[in-house]
Structure 1
Amino acid sequence: MKVIYKWSYLEYEYNTETERRAAIDSEEFIPGKGTPIDVNVFYGHHPSEKKMFVTIPRFQKGVPFSVGTVTNRTRNGNPIIAPFPSWDWYRNVEACGPRRIVSVYRIAIDRCGRLWVLDNGVVLDKKVCQPQILAFDVRTGRLAYRHELSKDITTDVTLMVTIMADVRDSCDDVFIYSADCQGNTIYVTDVNNDVSWAAKDKTMYPWPPYGTYNILGTTFDIMDGVLGMALDPYQPGTDRKLYYHAMSSPTENWVYTSHLRNRTMFQGGELSTPEIFHTFEGKRSTQSAAEVIDSKGTMYFGLNGKQELACYDTKSENYGARSSMRIIEHNDETLQFISGVKVVKNSKGIEELWAVTTPFQKVYTDTVDTKEINFRILGAKIDDLAYGTGCRHGSSPLPHHQTRPYGHGY
């Protein structure tokens, strides 16, 4: 994959130098703090409409806002990030008013031009507000939908980290699936009826042996449950699978969305329907965070203990087998930890893969060196990546002496 943007540390857009200095003095903004976790791209119908979104969750002190767009301006070589939709959404968030964004790990853009934001309401380790789901018009930044999850279904440890937007036959028929990596739960939101419920299963829990991470020789412990989620391509009138996995685990799981969307299945209790959740027999060799599936059913994800980007043919049941899972790329520098991946159709209708990578082992151990390049947004055409991997159903891997043509198209 090609590096499109890179930072030694994140820079944020302020109206004046005086405002920026005041933010630094008050520690609203601490240079060297802040970690990008997710990326998404909106192309629109005209080049002027293109937006590159990034998320910066507030698990570190000194992060002034949590959702932004990458501008074409730089400071000390670092692309400047502007707040989305505006600064107003990040003022006085502790009041928990309706126009707030506290902290966001991941986002989703649907085919109807809406940016779905999963705000977990947590700053550092403190729960400030109830988690909420927001939808904005991507072009205008206007709020299109807001839903605050009830205290009746969330817990004190709830940490919402990943969001999937399941748009059915029309833009009004939408269900949202939200992963809670600390409560080990997937929350389902029926947008049309403005109601949510919790789905819980043992497959959403972390595996203790996979709670210790080793990235380029640095070890640290994280016991994160369900985090990675991906929807297979939607075909009108048919069922759909939601794939998911706990980050601190080697397994991949799936459930039909028709089951998740059926609220009555969970009225007997969160763990009352174990038969609807399925786990592949094969396993990954290491932990993985985000995942995504393209229009042909190929899944892409990082193998974060090996600094690799991998793919899997979801039409195969042989998860983990060499015949259906392949390594696309290995890079100790640019693929240290893949935290966000998205498949996006560009203005020509060509699918692209976008990813955010970080030295998460240094973030976690507070050893980030701001004199080095630390954070990257990478992109590539899907066809260039998937060519010859064997991850596309019906295709065969290239012989070992051949390589894939990387045109990137940028």
Structure 2
Amino acid sequence: MLKLALLAGLVGFCAAAAKLEEVFAWKEVSYAWPNDEARNEAVKNGEYIRENNLPLGLERWKDKLFVTVPRWKSGVASSLNYVPLSPANKTASLIPYPDWKANTIPKGEEKLEDNAIVSTFRVSADSCDRLWVIDTGVADILGGYKIIAPPAIVIFDLTTDKLIRRYNLKPEDQKADASFFANIIVDVIPGKCDEAYAYIPDLGGYGLVVYSYAENDSWRIKHNYFHFDPIQGDMTIGGVDIQWTDGIFGLALGPADETGDRTVYFHALASTTEFSVNSSVLKNKTIALDSLSYDLYKIEGNKGEKSQTSASVFDEKANVLLFTQLVKDGVACWNANKTLNAQNVGMVAEDHENLIFTNDIKVDSERNLWILSDKMPAFLYKKLNPEEINYRIYKVAVDEAIRGTPCEA
């Protein structure tokens, strides 16, 4: 019986792993340089140090898959990039977006261009064919921590690759010596592009910044649910012990009701609890900043032991929240029609070799789930082996991913 149980478990694991299609796999990332001379000059000047370029965030728009490379360390050649999805090339070089100049740090008295991207962690494409980027404005984060520009929302027209708007976050949107903005989620109803809102979590300052596109204005919200759980900050990922204090990090939007409002699901990274609030609370500046709105936030439940999560995304058709599982090397799901607890959470992918630190996930317009894993703890605190595949991007259809889990309707 024991042998049969072990065999069944092995078959189940293989079946789950077979669901994922490996689209990209890199030992170290390269870039589509204008020519060899430009690459050699960048290497010589320390502007490109191959091992310091770690892909972190992703987003799909048509035939482009955007891949961000934050400037954790010196020598990051370009922070906002894309790779074409056809022709298929698993080791494709990253193409800077919108171009090389926008991703080059100014030297001396050079002016930062309005379309410049200093360092971004995550981006979001909306139904209006716009790419929303949250630029931290900081280079060499783990080294000299060079503040090049204030944190900003940068919006591009994906059909023309032209800048639509750059909005610098206001000083009052930030908490001195604490704020760090590494995610952006766009709330827009198709056909009402000018009424869009963006939600930008502050993982270090434990706040949430809301930006109104129509008003070109922003406001900062505070709530106890935005803080990390001190009991859940210790994690072992890929053999690396880490102690993190990251607060509100991942956000996901449920389906819109007849008024255009949605449930906004959110969590701290160093936590296993999921929370929610109706978007009408966030979008109304008067209500959002009123202390009486405190009770309008809801505890959805606990995802279970060792279920710390970075990114999350909601699939409206299945009514399922998908979220990364950092300690478990995978991605999990929860059907929002059910109570959120460990029993109702299903693993849609788990691989202790290839899914170490599932940093970002997205669901595209065709309902494909995209997963990026990058071994980030080892990159930050140890050293990655350049002879091994360190960075992977997978995809799988949402319906296939949740099949056989508690997330099926």
TM-score range, shorter chain: 0.7 to 0.9
Structure 1, residues 300-354: CA drift from partner, whole Å, max 9, x if none?
A: 11211111211001222x21231x31111210112111111101023xxxx1100
Greater shift, 119-128 or 156-165, is seen at: 119-128
Instruction: Tell me, yes or no, if the aligned pair for 1:72 and 1:79 is still in contact at 8 Å.
Output: no
2:5 aligns to what?
none
- Structure 1 residue 84: Cα displacement: 0.3
Residue identity opposite 1:27 in structure 2? G
CA RMSD of the aligned region, Å? Answer: 2.0
Structure 1, residues 25-56: CA drift from partner, whole Å, max 9, x if none?
A: 1111101111111111112xxxxxx1111111
What CA distance in whole angstroms lies between the structure 1 residues aligned with 2:173 and 2:377? 33
What CA distance in whole angstroms lies between the structure 1 residues aligned with 2:393 and 2:163? 27
- Unpaired runs of 5+ in structure 2? 1-19
What CA distance in whole angstroms lies between the structure 2 residues aligned with 1:272 and 1:383? 40
From 333, 337, 358, the counterpart of 2:353 = 333
- Structure 1 residue 134: Cα displacement: 1.3
Instruction: Tell me, yes or no, if the aligned pair for 1:10 and 1:33 is still in contact at 8 Å.
Output: no
Greater shift, 85-94 or 253-262, is seen at: 85-94
Task: Show the 5 A alignment for 1:124-203.
Answer: 124-125=140-141, 126=145, 127-156=147-176, 157-168=178-189, 170-203=192-225
- Structure 1 residue 72: Cα displacement: 7.3
What CA distance in whole angstroms lies between the structure 2 residues aligned with 1:73 and 1:379? 15
- Structure 1 residue 73: Cα displacement: 10
Instruction: Tell me, yes or no, if the aligned pair for 2:309 and 2:323 is still in contact at 8 Å.
Output: yes
Instruction: Tell me, yes or no, if the aligned pair for 1:182 and 1:224 is still in contact at 8 Å.
Output: yes
1:290 aligns to what?
311
Instruction: Tell me, yes or no, if the aligned pair for 1:207 and 1:248 is still in contact at 8 Å.
Output: yes
What CA distance in whole angstroms lies between the structure 1 residues aligned with 2:241 and 2:201? 25
What CA distance in whole angstroms lies between the structure 2 residues aligned with 1:340 and 1:281? 22
Structure 2 length-normalised TM: 0.88
Distance change in 2, residues 1:124/1:281 (3 Å): same
- Secondary structure of 2:387's counterpart equals coil
Task: Show the 5 A alignment for 1:255-294.
Answer: 255-268=277-290, 273-286=293-306, 287-294=308-315
1:391 aligns to what?
407
Residue identity opposite 2:249 in structure 1? L
Distance change in 2, residues 1:143/1:366 (3 Å): same
Instruction: Tell me, yes or no, if the aligned pair for 2:118 and 2:137 is still in contact at 8 Å.
Output: yes
Distance change in 2, residues 1:258/1:93 (3 Å): farther
Instruction: Tell me, yes or no, if the aligned pair for 1:93 and 1:100 is still in contact at 8 Å.
Output: no
Residue identity opposite 2:350 in structure 1? H
From 252, 260, 281, the counterpart of 1:230 = 252
Distance change in 2, residues 1:276/1:283 (3 Å): same
What CA distance in whole angstroms lies between the structure 2 residues aligned with 1:385 and 1:59? 32
- Secondary structure of 1:280's counterpart equals strand
1:213 aligns to what?
235
- Structure 1 residue 98: Cα displacement: 2.3
Instruction: Tell me, yes or no, if the aligned pair for 1:8 and 1:373 is still in contact at 8 Å.
Output: yes
Instruction: Tell me, yes or no, if the aligned pair for 1:298 and 1:311 is still in contact at 8 Å.
Output: yes
- Unpaired runs of 5+ in structure 1? 44-49, 396-410
1:39 aligns to what?
58
Q: Would you say how many aligned residue pairs link Structure 1 and Structure 2?
A: 378
Greater shift, 142-151 or 368-377, is seen at: 142-151
1:358 aligns to what?
374
Structure 1, residues 352-388: CA drift from partner, whole Å, max 9, x if none?
A: 1001101122112131011000000110111111222
- Secondary structure of 1:80's counterpart equals coil
What CA distance in whole angstroms lies between the structure 1 residues aligned with 2:281 and 2:29? 41
From 70, 75, 81, the counterpart of 1:62 = 75
Distance change in 2, residues 1:327/1:73 (3 Å): closer
- Structure 1 residue 190: Cα displacement: 0.5
What CA distance in whole angstroms lies between the structure 2 residues aligned with 1:97 and 1:232? 36
Distance change in 2, residues 1:61/1:255 (3 Å): same
- Structure 1 residue 153: Cα displacement: 2.2
**1:377 aligned to 2:399?**
no
- Structure 1 residue 236: Cα displacement: 4.0
Distance change in 2, residues 1:295/1:283 (3 Å): closer
- Structure 1 residue 237: Cα displacement: 2.1
